[in-house]
Amino acid sequence: MHVRGKTVLSLALVALVGMSGAGPAVAQSSDGGKPYVVEYYYKARWGAFDEFLRLFKKNHYPLLKREQEMGRILAVGATTPRYHATEDGRWDFRVTITWRDAATANDGWEPAAVIKELFPDKSTYDREEQRRFELLLAHWDVPVRDAALDK
């Protein structure tokens, strides 16, 4: 599980498939400046999901939206499962981010200036982000690509 500051931004997480019904997000296997899609999965402690989601929406989603405004992210969307799964396969929240390209997704961008602008009370922001990750049992990131079934 990642808990460091710059890793927290990369989590986004978490991409509210704001792709106007364009279907599932996919990425190309080689960058070449093409969109790069990552799915970020979160598994919350039992009974903690609502608090996790509230903190995600309050503190992390605005950062993702700002990166979208900057052109780093093309789309952000999120889903939750409709039904339950076995405990070992359970996830509670998936954020899908379509990055401009793989280089952008992995460039080590530091969000400190944006965090300062969006959240002037840094101590509250830091405390709430720490809490958001304390509520998790697991988190993992999965870059995805088109399977090209018709080729």
Q: What is the pLDDT of residues 40-78, one digit of tens each?
A: 999 999 999 999 999 999 999 999 999 999 999 999 999
Q: Indicate if the pLDDT at residue 9 is higher than 90.
A: no
What residue ranges define each of the domains in the chain, with the CATH number in brackets?
Answer: 5-19+31-141 (3.30.70.100)
Check: CB of residue 40 under 8 Å from CB of residue 14: yes
Please report which confidence band the pLDDT of residue 12 belongs to, taking 50, 70 and 90 as the band edges. Answer: very low
d(Cα 75, Cα 71) in Å, to the nearest integer?
Answer: 10
Coil, strand or helix: which one is 5?
helix
Q: pTM score, two decimals?
A: 0.77
Rounded Cα distance between 48 and 93, Å, is 12
Using CA atoms, how far residue 134 sits from 28, 29, 37, 139, in Å, is 34, 34, 26, 11
Mean pLDDT of the region 3-20 = 35
The predicted structure's pLDDT at residue 32: 75
Q: How far apart are CA 116 and CA 145, in angstroms?
A: 34
- Predicted local distance difference test score (pLDDT) of residue 143: 97
Is pLDDT at 87 greater than 50 in this prediction? yes
